[in-house]
Amino acid sequence: MNPRLNIVPFVNVDNMMKLVLRHGVEQFITGLAAQIEDDFRRWPSFDKTPRVASHSPEGVIELMPTSDGRTYGFKYVNGHPKNMREGRQTVTAFGVLADVGTGYPVLLSEMTLLTALRTAATSAVAARRLAPRDARCMAIIGNGAQSEFQAIAFRSLLGLRQFRLFDIDAAATRKCMRNLSGFDIDVTPCRSAEEAVSGADIITTVTADKQYATILSDNMVGSGVHINAVGGDCPGKTELHRDILLRSDIFVEYMPQTRIEGEIQQLPVDHPVTELWEVICGTAEGRRDARQITVFDSVGFATEDFSALRYVRSLLAGTGLYDELDMLADPDEPRDLFGMLLRASKGPASDDDRAG
């Protein structure tokens, strides 16, 4: 048995944090955004399917697969809002890359942290084409696990410095302010969502409750605003009032999935939307004028996770920031899997055994 063929690098949470910090959070998000954008440019080369979901009263468990014909990737992810009350993460995830030619996995990685990074990077990639060109201020409504990543991505990729925060839990806002204190960001806590959006050029909604909700009502959104709608990400969960959508231009990642899970589940199936890859490739318009309201109805799509895993893999060489997992049974004789099991019962093979 070749001792290297069955080894798969595994990036655990500790090593993911070290990898991000080695590059710096802002630089990591910037590089990740470039990878996501590059993969959106070759959108037609990907297999695409809405995520495979298993719903329960407590939450959802999903698989998000895709392939570009050379590499296959998938993410396992859950969404359980009740977890927060029990001291657990609402969302956890891990992902795998595999070589299409052999079927062998080439990377296993945590994706709880990586998903937050890729979600923020994707939001900023979209906003560079959809937000007002002179945007200076962003409101973030929902100051939980995603909020800091969103702020840092918009600071890094769009140059924003002013952020207005609101959460129904004031402790979450204080946490967010504390975590952003070292990033040259002007952060203002607000007492209501209405106060937070006042004067904001971009509004990010990233709340966790699994329900139809009105985080933004129609009267709160004036002309020229870009809405980065991140929190509506499963059937029966929305954040925007329907009337906002009716007077906005809506952009999505993959329309068949967003129809099921995004804000547009509130609209007729024939309501027009534009997929983000079309804007990135220049075949569709993004922001046309200063008065246009744009909505990025983001639910997360498998190609973004694929991009994130590829980006992590590209950074690993020479770092030692991974474990080597003996994951694959790979006997000397591929048809003799049972023989490999029998030989293991005798302990380590001698030179004579291997020769015979």
Instruction: Enumerate residues 6+ apart whose C-beta is below 8 A from 290.
Output: 132, 224
Q: Residue 208 in contact with residue 84, Cβ under 8 Å?
A: yes
Fold of 7-113+305-344: ornithine cyclodeaminase, domain 1 (3.30.1780)
- What is the predicted pLDDT for the residue at 81? 80
CA distance 238 to 10: 35
pLDDT one-digit tens code per residue, 279-317? 999 999 999 999 999 999 999 999 999 999 999 999 999
Mean pLDDT across the chain, nearest whole number? 92
Half-sphere exposure (Cβ direction) of 302: Cα atoms closer than 13 Å: 27
Distance from the Cα of residue 133 to its chain's centroid: 24
CA distance 286 to 250: 10
User: Could you state, in order of their start, the residue ranges of all structural domains in the chain?
Assistant: 7-113+305-344, 123-300
pLDDT one-digit tens code per residue, 153-196? 999 999 999 999 999 999 999 999 999 999 999 999 999 999 99
Known catalytic residues are 233
Fold of 123-300: Rossmann fold (3.40.50)
